[in-house]
């Protein structure tokens, strides 16, 4: 998939893996003339059979560039996003009474409240415990999913297609 950074204008060719930190580009837009931005029958079939997005995706990441890139990527696929810079901010957003997210994309290493602490407190709250979480971390599969309540783990650099597949699976109404 080819993309252009909305900030610096650089043209970027992506082949499944997008190393966000290495790019330095935080707001990517698919190129209109890109063959990969053409209609996608598999994605269109999912959308037709699954319906509209079930809610926003909450991206919890302390690095502004990474958070912005992940949010832009998810929004490019048609989903709304909201961001939080740490676990404490994420919990405050979730408990404020607004629309709950269909998925939480969670980093582990953050100041104020790290991802593991956020996840423990989330699971202790009956209303929030039901929300699915995918952990995106530099630890990759070396970190135990069971320690976080059985979440899915995606290593950095992020496999863009896999992350979008997880978002679609969790956030399209059935």
**148: alpha, beta or left, given left = phi > 0 and alpha = psi -120 to 50?**
alpha
Looking at residue 112, what is its pLDDT?
Answer: 95
Which range is least confidently modeled, 38-42, 84-88, 129-133, 162-166? 38-42
pLDDT band at 159 (very low <50, low <70, confident <90, very high): confident
Q: What is the pLDDT of residues 40-51, one digit of tens each?
A: 433 444 444 456
- pLDDT for the residue 51: 60
Q: What is the pLDDT of residue 106?
A: 94
Burial of 69 from C-beta contacts in 10 A (0-12 / 13-18 / 19+): buried
Give the model's pLDDT for residue 145.
56
What does the pLDDT read at residue 153? 84
User: What distance separates the 2 farthest-apart alpha carbons in the chain?
Assistant: 48
Entry pTM:
0.71
Whether pLDDT at 105 is above 90: yes
Phi-psi region of 104 (alpha: psi -120 to 50; beta: other; left: phi over 0): beta
* pLDDT tens profile 29-75: 454 554 444 444 334 444 444 566 678 999 999 999 999 999 999 99
At residue 18, does pLDDT exceed 60? no
- Using 50, 70 and 90 to split pLDDT, how confident is the model at 141? low
Distances (CA, A) of 51 to 55, 74, 80: 12, 17, 15
**How far apart, in whole angstroms, are the C-alpha atoms of residue 148 and residue 116?**
6
On average, the pLDDT of the chain sits at 75
């Amino acid at each position: 998939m080819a993309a252009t950074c909305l900030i610096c204008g650089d043209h970027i060719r992506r082949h499944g893996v997008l190393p966000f930190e290495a790019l330095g580009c935080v707001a990517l837009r698919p190129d209109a003339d890109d063959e990969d931005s053409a209609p996608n029958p598999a994605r269109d079939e999912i959308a037709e059979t699954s319906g509209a997005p079930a809610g926003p995706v909450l991206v919890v990441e302390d690095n502004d560039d990474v958070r912005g890139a992940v949010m832009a990527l998810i929004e490019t696929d048609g989903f709304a996003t909201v961001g939080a810079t740490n676990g404490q901010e994420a919990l405050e957003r979730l408990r404020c009474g607004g629309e709950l997210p269909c998925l939480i994309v969670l980093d582990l290493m953050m100041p104020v409240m790290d991802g593991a602490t956020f996840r423990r407190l989330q699971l202790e709250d009956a209303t929030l415990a039901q929300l699915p979480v995918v952990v995106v971390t530099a630890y990759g599969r070396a970190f135990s999913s069971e320690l976080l309540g059985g979440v899915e783990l995606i290593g950095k650099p992020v496999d863009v297609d896999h992350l979008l597949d997880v978002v679609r699976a969790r956030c399209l109404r059935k």
